[in-house]
Amino acid sequence: MRTLDDIDVAGKRVFVRVDFNVPLDKNRRVKDDLRIRAVLPTIRKVLDSKGKLILASHLGRPKGKPAEEFSLKPVGEYLARLLDLPVVPASDCVGREVERQAAGMEPGQILLLENLRFHPEEEKNDPEFSRRLASLAEVYVNDAFAVSHRAHASVHGITRFVPVCAAGYQLEKEVKYFREAMEDPKRPVAMIIGGAKVSTKIELLENLVAKADFLLIAGAMANTFLKAQGKEVGKSLVEDDHLETAARLLKKAQERGVKVYLPVDAVAAPALEVCGSAQQVSVDRVPSDLLMLDVGSGTLEVFESVLRTCRTIVWNGPLGAFETTPFHQGTFAMAKFLAGLDALTVVGGGDSAAAVRQAGLEDRMGYVSTGGGAFLEMLEGKTLPGLAALEECRQRTQP
């Protein structure tokens, strides 16, 4: 892929696909600006290089039609305060009025298009809609890793109609750290995989078994593996239709020499809402009326002893029901432990990344990905449409 440093944007209209899909409070004010701040280096580079900056994003799920609650105007106002510069809101993302605004821009100006998903053609990757977006600019930059697993018009289709395409700094950083952790890692490599269901991470586990030295499985998905080993797991969430899948993955790991670690104990309770009676139990003796909701102290000790030996660690998914006290303790303890290691630690996935941020440890990790689904699909070994589109654009326009 070309990167922003490979191209000259001076005097040109630069369409930058960003991910401003940020949470807003009831007064429509930005609650978490992580994704906005993540693309500030790209924004400042274009402005400092005398480019004409056109920003495009989606917000929420407006289902293909305009809705005031999903307007990007509050995000534009927040960005303007961050930059201490005017951010001009467009009334739409395509159409004559937007074309007029784009054509009249001066170097250093910023135009924020309205929500791309106000048009159903965006998610359909409609060629004509892609062409209309492309007509606004002379250069296209993708700095929205979190949506690069979607073959949408502003991520994929637009690259066929813009002569110059490049990756922004945030996207470039995401790919750099992923490749460092997964394609040419310093070994030993450990993968910590959490979350609720095996069924959503079969492809991920299949791929990791071929790449990792150690596989640490936790969260509710570990229950299915424990039951596949013949253990009784009480009322814990289990995917009975994936017991054979879990057993097959364990066998495949053994054949490849990958050491798999499952919880040895857990914090259990009668229900998620009945946390007052939570107790630590061995996974060999889980009472029939309890469900496991977090890893126990013994599991953390085992996991930590393995991770101390590793030079590369990738973490995807929480170790328990971390949104509810006291079942957050395992996930937060793991975040704190990883923050103190002398290893490359890459954290990806919405919940695990959120836990690291909530624990105030983001700056102490090697890298925390801004992408949930995109990061997961890269871990599964898939090619992201947004990245493939940038590569294809470069191939088409090489001398």
Rounded Cα distance between 88 and 319, Å, is 43
Helix (H) or strand (E) holding 388: helix 385-397
Query: What ranges make up the beta strands (E) of the chain?
Result: 13-17, 52-56, 88-89, 110-112, 139-142, 164-167, 189-193, 214-217, 259-261, 265-269, 279-282, 291-295, 312-316, 344-347, 367-368
Confidence of residue 376 (pLDDT cuts 50, 70, 90): confident
Residue closest to 179 by CA, chosen among 209, 211, 222:
211
Side-chain-facing half-sphere of 145: CA atoms under 13 Å: 28
Give SS3 for 24.
strand
Whether residue 114 contacts residue 140, with contact meaning beta carbons closer than 8 Å, is answered with no
Token pair in block for residue 12: 């040109």
pLDDT of residue 399 exceeding 60, the answer is no
Enter the pTM of the model: 0.89
Residue 42, pLDDT score: 98
Q: Which residues in the chain are classed under CATH 3.40.50.1260? A: 4-171+383-397, 185-368
Going by their DSSP bridges, the two strands 110-112 and 52-56 should be labelled as parallel
Looking at domain 4-171+383-397, its CATH class is alpha beta
Packing angle, helices 350-358 and 329-339, rounded to 10? 80
Residue 63, pLDDT score: 93
Residue 79, pLDDT score: 98
Residue 397, pLDDT score: 75
At 9, the amino acid letter reads V
Q: What is the mean pLDDT of the chain?
A: 94
Dmax of the chain from CA atoms?
71
The verdict on whether 373 is a catalytic residue reads yes
Rounded Cα distance between 147 and 125, Å, is 13
Query: Which CATH superfamily hosts domain 185-368?
Result: Phosphoglycerate kinase, N-terminal domain (3.40.50.1260)
pLDDT of residue 398 exceeding 90, the answer is no
Count of residues making up the chain: 399
Q: What is the mean pLDDT of residues 165-193?
A: 94
Per-residue pLDDT reduced to its tens digit, 235-251: 999 999 999 999 999 99
- Decide: residue 31, CB within 10 A, 0-12 exposed, 13-18 middle, 19+ buried: exposed
Please name the residue that has the structure tokens 């929420």.
60
Give SS3 for 69.
helix
Taking residue 108's Cβ as centre, other Cβ atoms within 10 Å add up to: 14
Whether residue 191 contacts residue 160, with contact meaning beta carbons closer than 8 Å, is answered with no
Residue 67, pLDDT score: 95
Token pair in block for residue 81: 């305060």
The verdict on whether 350 is a catalytic residue reads yes
Catalytic-labelled residue, pool 60, 108, 298, 373: 373
The verdict on whether 211 is a catalytic residue reads no
Token pair in block for residue 333: 């303890």
pLDDT of residue 49 exceeding 60, the answer is yes
Catalytic-labelled residue, pool 2, 13, 17, 35: 35
Rounded Cα distance between 83 and 53, Å, is 13
Confidence of residue 223 (pLDDT cuts 50, 70, 90): very high
Burial 344-354 (b: 16+ CB within 10 A, else e): bbbbbbbbbbb
User: Who wins on pLDDT, 373 or 301?
Assistant: 301
- Quick one: what percent of the chain has pLDDT higher than 70? 99
Query: What ranges make up the beta strands (E) of 35-121?
Result: 52-56, 88-89, 110-112
Residue 389, pLDDT score: 97
DSSP code of residue 3: B
DSSP code of residue 262: -
The verdict on whether 100 is a catalytic residue reads no
- Quick one: what percent of the chain has pLDDT higher than 90? 81
Confidence of residue 375 (pLDDT cuts 50, 70, 90): confident
Q: What are phi and psi of 388, to 5 degrees?
A: -60, -40
Confidence of residue 341 (pLDDT cuts 50, 70, 90): very high
Catalytic-labelled residue, pool 197, 248, 336, 357: 197
